[in-house]
Structure 1
Amino acid sequence: MPAQRSLEQSSTFEYRLAQEAINLRLQARGMPAGVRRTELLRKARQIDVAGDINKWLTSPGLQPPS
Structure 2
Amino acid sequence: MMKRRRLKQSMTLNERLAEEATRCREEARALSPGRRREMLLRRARQDETAMQIEAWLRSPGLRAPT
Q: Deviations over 1:5-57 (max 9, x none)?
A: 44xx1211101000000010111111111111011001100110010011001
Q: How does 1:1-66 map to 2 (within 5 A)?
A: 5-6=7-8, 9-65=9-65
For normalisation by structure 2, the TM-score amounts to 0.81
For normalisation by structure 1, the TM-score amounts to 0.81
Unpaired runs of at least 5, structure 1: none
Indicate the structure (1 or 2) with the bigger Cα radius of gyration. 2
Inter-partner Cα distance in structure 1 for 2:15 and 2:48:
11
Unpaired runs of at least 5, structure 2: none
Bigger helix fraction: 1
Secondary structure at the residue paired with 1:37? Answer: helix
The sequence identity of aligned pairs, in percent, is 48
Alpha carbon RMSD of aligned pairs, Å? 1.5
Inter-partner Cα distance in structure 2 for 1:38 and 1:11:
27
Q: Which runs of 4+ in 1 moved over 6 A?
A: none
